Chains A and B, each alone.
Chain A
């Protein structure tokens, strides 16, 4: 016995060495000569083939030549009839085919095994190997075999043929499409069990033939898996034809009663449900019918099918609470299942539903609570995040406790999910901020990657922003965090935040130690951020002594080894003594509109001529910090709870931002030769103006592009009539007043406009007679075209057409929409600075205005300027001053407007408009805009 134990031990040792031996590519290539031995040893060859495949599966790769040699070595083995060897050969062929050359040579050997009369175990293997080596052009040659195999009574053969056809489809679409009838037959194959029960007996009856006996040994599948493969192939073939798919779903879905359901394989039904969901999304008419089918599938006997249907309903766009009740009940049943996979599936789906319909999910709260200690941490995490969304304030503390218990055991992704859930919870129940902040600061100390730490820091920053009471506490947690933070990016963010928020706190001094520690201990990036942060404390403090201490600290930074740190320290020390500098460099509350700045820079870089001059940043609109924060706002915290659902993918992309549309316009204009010498676009209107009603047969919108010396009107014309074609479409623009300062250059027509090619663009170009002036005008527009009917049989337009015209609404060229861009600034300082610049003043009586608020709104709208300091909302009902700021495009520079208004009942609003700007034309433009 002892010797046995001993030898057993040594055997174990051998096995660990086995892997190294197997891993050796050179050995294997050498040993490949066993393929050439005669007689062939099936056992040895199978072992070697296994090792080849194993090598590939552990990550080894063969060069093309090596793979080709091995591949053709294996083909010699076709001489031997041993089925165990043959199966291994097919596996080898499949794996080597990807990297070997000339694999097509073995086609005929494989085809022999595919013969319908060969009842060998490896016939399915041969079919599956064939599709790896065959050339698309040869698929036609094997069509007969495939058609027969697809409808073979042996499910293994049918499945192999269907799956191979599936693999081949993209390569040989036309041929595979012809197998649709066979695939249909395979889907409908009924009563397969009874047949196979009988057939296996039949095989035994034949007895004598050795290969027949082998076939008899295999047990026929009872899973109806053929339906799954056949349905997949049918969909692949028909997917472009929505009518055919709809019909297929109606047939196979078994109608309302569902009693005669053909599909027995649950996976096939799952696929059918997905196809149905797609149809439902595309075709609203089918919605009701398919929804009924989905509800029927909720009661199917297979969990898999129930779940698929429930999930689809939950992810439906615009699903109502009533529709959700049944699927959620199904998922609720899963929650109490002993199977982890079911619980996982259910909680994952519920967590995503809870984002939009927390009330519907609340029904499962009791079951979910029993899962928060589930051994599968993912299930527990989903359960908790769901509860966090559906639960009430009372349960928060208990949940937090449970979560803290297992935070260390779950993956970072789930930690991020939980932190995000807590962030939204903080905003929902601000009263609970203490326990949540405690939790967040706790997890901040845990181990974790950047994404996780960032999520926590984001959450704390949000709390600082929205929950005033916890600011002090949260800031001190962040201070502690940066004491030992390995992520430079996060340190910099926190230091910046401390600089913004710290000086406002009652005890700013307590932050100084933390910040200065960074100057001593960290890398240059963090040190520079720390210096900026310190300076903000110094400048914003009224306490002379405190300022002096900061000065001392900054003085020390002047010796830093890094340039940036030294420079910043020097700059800030200067601002301490020169107050106006502090206003500009530290207290200034405006930032560039990043999107506008970006597009400006792109235009600058693209235009080689512009490089001669430095970029003019004064033309870039500014926005306040608050606005910038709003623009860059993270998606609503509730959306970020990363429950991956398929519905998110299908969502429409967000509407393009103004800057994106601008760059599209710029690209369109650049494509037109006539505008090549116009120079860069100075400004484009932000949104197209509708010149027609939205339901008319022709739809026209207008976009205006201002160039330095030209103005281009872009008319997007749509023809909604499918059976007519418009030819030579032009738009005739006539100014209302003769003397508008614009001269028409040319019209670029659309030669032919059908419903399919809509919308197309008609351009009308004008020259600005005096480019330094801002011409404003109103144009009446008339669309002229030749209308031709389309011959329904040929799809070609008829020879004869008739001229027609169509009156559009007027197109306006005005100050607000086309020349002025809103821009943020500090009004008081700027107003004083422009004291010596151009100015204009005028008084208007706006008798139609009914209140100061209405006057403010309409002035802002007309001028398209930024209202500053909350002056857009009048405090008094009788007297108000509205401060506005903007930039006039095309080098007009900044322009500020002060609107002093009084209101008296009966007289309306009296407005004194005082405009200051860098150029007189700009001021005049503003006055004209209000006056006109």
Chain B
């Protein structure tokens, strides 16, 4: 029975081919000081092997939860990405799930529902801060997705250099297109 607040062992983000987009394995120092070792998966090699095996078992949508390699993994598919929270085998499944839901909901608020690999890589700063506001070294910080999202700051363009290039034009075009689609959808 886990009597500590350290309930999340790792966050993993894999793409549709099972490659790591990014992953954070939490090793709280405090847990080690309490004499509870952080367990396995300490080396990159072990982690990658774990992720590969996990992906094999979870690549099909519609599972949301699995017990893999003695660890509880809750996961969510989103287009070309899979989000995982990993917890100990004895963890309350619903706690893990609520943390994952909070994170994914907050992220989709921040990325305007574009939970796909290009959008995530483009907004990595927002993504990483969002993760940091959800989990702090294995402790769930909050499960209120709107609060999490509102705590993530967005970069403000430097007033000195506003670049107009292909990318910004593309973004403008995308925005216009989205708005149009929304408007049309309303009628």
Q: Which residues of A are in contact with B by a Cβ distance under 8 Å?
A: 4, 7-8, 11-12, 15, 18-19, 22, 41-44, 46-47, 49-51, 53-54, 57-59, 82-85, 87-88, 91, 94, 121-122, 124-125, 128, 155-156, 159-160, 163, 166-171, 217-223, 225, 228-229, 232, 235-236, 239, 266-267, 270-271, 274-275, 277-278, 303-304, 307-308, 311, 339-342, 344-345, 348, 375-378, 410-411, 413, 644-646, 649-650
Contacts and interface: CB of A to CB of B under 8 A. Distances in A.
Contacts of A49: 125
B164 interface: no
A341 B97 CA distance: 7
Contacts of A228: 5, 140
B95 A41 contact: no
A166 B30 contact: yes
A270 B90 contact: no
Contacts of A59: 20, 23, 44, 47-48
Contact of A18 (B1, B5, B44, B121): B121
A417 to B, nearest CB: 10
Given A15-B121, A83-B153, A270-B95, A645 B90 contact: yes
Contacts of B186: none
A4 B172 CA distance: 12
A42 B156 contact: yes
A308 B156 contact: no
A83 B64 CA distance: 36
Given A159-B141, A267-B95, A128 B136 contact: yes
A303 B95 CA distance: 10
Given A49-B125, A87-B129, 6 more contacts: A18-B121, A221-B148, A223-B147, A225-B141, A278-B3, A304-B94
Interface of B: 1-5, 20-24, 28-30, 33-34, 44, 47-48, 53, 57, 62-70, 74, 89-90, 92-95, 97-98, 117-118, 121-122, 124-125, 128-129, 132, 136-137, 139-144, 146-158, 160-161, 166-167, 170, 173
30 contacts: A22-B121, A41-B161, A43-B157, A54-B22, A57-B22, A58-B20, A84-B154, A125-B132, A156-B142, A156-B151, A160-B136, A167-B30, A221-B148, A223-B143, A223-B147, A229-B5, A229-B139, A236-B4, A267-B98, A304-B92, A340-B64, A340-B65, A341-B65, A341-B74, A376-B63, A377-B63, A411-B66, A644-B89, A646-B1, A649-B90
Contacts of B48: 59
Nearest to B27: A98
B5 A232 contact: yes
A377 B62 CA distance: 10
Nearest to B166: A7
Given A59-B47, A84-B153, A228-B5, A644 B147 contact: no
A338 to B, nearest CB: 11
Contact of A4 (B147, B148, B173): B173
B64 A163 contact: no
Nearest to B1: A646
Nearest to B47: A59
A352 to B, nearest CB: 11
Contacts of A57: 22-24, 128
Contacts of B153: 83-84, 87, 121-122
Nearest to A169: B30
Contacts of A51: 124
A411 B34 contact: no
Contacts of A91: 128-129, 132
Contacts of B117: 15
Contacts of A167: 28-30, 137
Nearest to B89: A644
A642 to B, nearest CB: 10
Contact of B141 (A11, A163, A277): A163
Listed residue (A22, A42, A43) with the most chain B CB atoms within 10 angstroms of its CB: A43
Contacts of A220: 147
A8 B89 CA distance: 44
Contacts of B94: 303-304, 307, 341-342, 345
Nearest to A410: B57
Contact of B3 (A43, A275, A308, A375): A275
Contacts of B125: 46-47, 49-50, 88
Sort A-B residue pairs by CB-CB distance and give the 9 closest, nearest first.
A170-B33, A221-B147, A57-B22, A232-B5, A646-B90, A340-B64, A50-B125, A84-B153, A223-B144
Contacts of A644: 67, 70, 89-90
Contacts of B3: 235, 239, 271, 274-275, 278
Most chain A CB within 10 A, of B2, B4, B153, is at B153
A218 B48 CA distance: 37
B109 to A, nearest CB: 10
Contacts, number: 213
Nearest to A233: B5
A50 B128 CA distance: 8
A53 B127 CA distance: 11
A57 B152 CA distance: 19
B63 A218 contact: no
A649 B148 CA distance: 36
A218 B147 contact: yes
B150 A217 contact: yes
A380 B74 CA distance: 17
Contacts of A378: 63, 65-67
Contacts of A218: 147, 150-151
Contact of B170 (A7, A82, A156): A7
A46 B154 CA distance: 10
Contacts of B65: 340-341, 344, 376, 378
Contacts of B146: 219
A387 B157 CA distance: 61
Nearest to B137: A167
A651 to B, nearest CB: 13
Contacts of A42: 155-156, 158
B164 to A, nearest CB: 15
A225 B143 contact: yes
A267 B94 CA distance: 9
Given A12-B118, A170-B34, A378-B63, A345 B93 contact: yes
Contacts of B158: 41-44
B14 to A, nearest CB: 12
A163 B1 contact: no
B28 to A, nearest CB: 7
Contacts of A303: 94
Contacts of B34: 170
Nearest to A10: B166
Nearest to A91: B132
B1 A277 contact: yes
A303 B166 CA distance: 50
B67 A413 contact: yes
B147 A219 contact: yes
A348 B67 contact: yes
A19 B3 CA distance: 39
B32 to A, nearest CB: 8
A325 to B, nearest CB: 22
A46 B153 CA distance: 11
A236 B4 CA distance: 8
Contacts of A649: 1, 90
A730 B100 CA distance: 65
A339 to B, nearest CB: 8
Nearest to A219: B150
A232 B142 CA distance: 14
Nearest to A222: B144
B144 A225 contact: yes
Nearest to B118: A15
Q: Which residue among A160, A221, A229, A645 has the maximum number of chain B CB atoms within 10 Å of its CB?
A: A221
A528 B101 CA distance: 57
B121 A53 contact: no
Contacts of B148: 221
Contacts of A43: 155-158
Interface-central residue, B28, B48, B90, B166, by most chain A CB under 10 Å = B90
Nearest to A159: B141
